[in-house]
Structure 1
Amino acid sequence: MDANNAAKRPTILASIGRRLAARLIDCAIAALIFFIVKFCVGVLSAYVPAVTPKAGFLAAFFAAFAYFLLADALPNGQSLGKRLLSIATVDRKTRKGCSISQSFTRNAGALVIIDWVWIFMESRTRLGDMFAKTIVIQTGNLTGVRSLADIYDNGRG
């Protein structure tokens, strides 16, 4: 899909419900990453005395936090939660998937509760989205995950 055609296509912004559900799924995945890394480091500490429980906690925390900050930079701007709910984070102008720097910028602000208040405004854009110059769009329906080329045009698939 070329960027010029993508920018000209009409887009449907993702609903607040889908965005919230995707965020909850991503938080659950981050928690799962935390526990998996913590468990693996715990097992490793039995064989490597230099690996301490504190090191395991820190490694697990940073792995989960890295997913939380950078998940929207996964292919097509879809974290695992967004992919499940057929929404994507894209650049506001080019409609290309969210970059690593955009993902970091938009999600670093999500730690502040007031960031989510902005989503209830007419533009449905969080403060983090404004800083990162991104939007969250619908890429399909709940029964299937589609690519950005399959964005609905005026309600027709």
Structure 2
Amino acid sequence: MTAPLFQRYVAQIIDAAVSAFFFLASFVVFEKAGVDNENVRIYSLLVALSYYLFCDSLPRGRSVGKMFFNISVVDSKTGKYCSILQSFLRNTLCLVLGVLDAIFILRKDRRRLGDLLASTIAVKLKV
């Protein structure tokens, strides 16, 4: 069963908050380590983007936000959990296209443009 839209939306907000946390935490760590100011911002952004782009390839295809709602991202053909490459593809499109990518979730099969590109689907796991 595909994951409910509202739960996917809230999971996305949670993941954005986790990404922001990683940005701020790494900013403090890099700054305390004496990394120069310009590089601190760049490195912190890379840490935050790394989480955001690859979070759906965490164990069982579940980002932190998806764990709250028992949602998993799986390969739409094999049913296997989302790979690192699939996570990168689906989430890069979300970052680049934003709302346009999200509009596709209104399709009958509830797959975003990123899901179509990566051959993935977000499903509600049985408890």
**TM range, normalised to the smaller chain?**
over 0.9
Match of 1:71 among 42, 46, 55: 55
- Uncovered stretches (5+) of structure 1, i.e. residues with no partner: 1-11, 46-50, 141-145, 147-157
* Aligned partner letter, 1:115: D
* Aligned partner letter, 1:63: V
Deviations 1:21-46 (A, max 9, x none): 1100000000000000000111111x
CA distance in 1, matches of 2:61, 2:6: 18
Deviations 1:129-148 (A, max 9, x none): 000000000014xxxxx5xx
Match of 2:22 among 9, 13, 33: 33
Match of residue 15 from structure 1 = 4
- The 5-angstrom pairing of residues 47-126 of structure 1 reads 51-111=35-95, 112=97, 113-126=99-112
Q: Which has the higher helix share?
A: 2
Match of residue 132 from structure 1 = 118
Deviation at 1:120, TM superposition (A): 1.1
TM-score (norm 2): 0.95
Name the SS of the counterpart of 2:33 in structure 1: helix
CA distance in 2, matches of 1:87, 1:122: 18
- Uncovered stretches (5+) of structure 2, i.e. residues with no partner: none
Name the SS of the counterpart of 1:96 in structure 2: coil
Greater than 6 Å deviation, 4+ residue runs: none
Name the SS of the counterpart of 1:101 in structure 2: helix
* Aligned partner letter, 1:82: K
CA distance in 1, matches of 2:41, 2:89: 25
Q: Give the root-mean-square deviation of aligned CA atoms.
A: 0.9
Name the SS of the counterpart of 1:137 in structure 2: strand
Deviations 1:107-131 (A, max 9, x none): 0100212000000121110000000
Match of residue 5 from structure 1 = none
CA distance in 2, matches of 1:81, 1:107: 14
Deviations 1:75-98 (A, max 9, x none): 110011111111000001111110
Name the SS of the counterpart of 2:123 in structure 1: strand
* Aligned partner letter, 2:30: V
TM-score (norm 1): 0.78
Greater CA radius of gyration, 1 or 2? 1
Aligned residues: 125
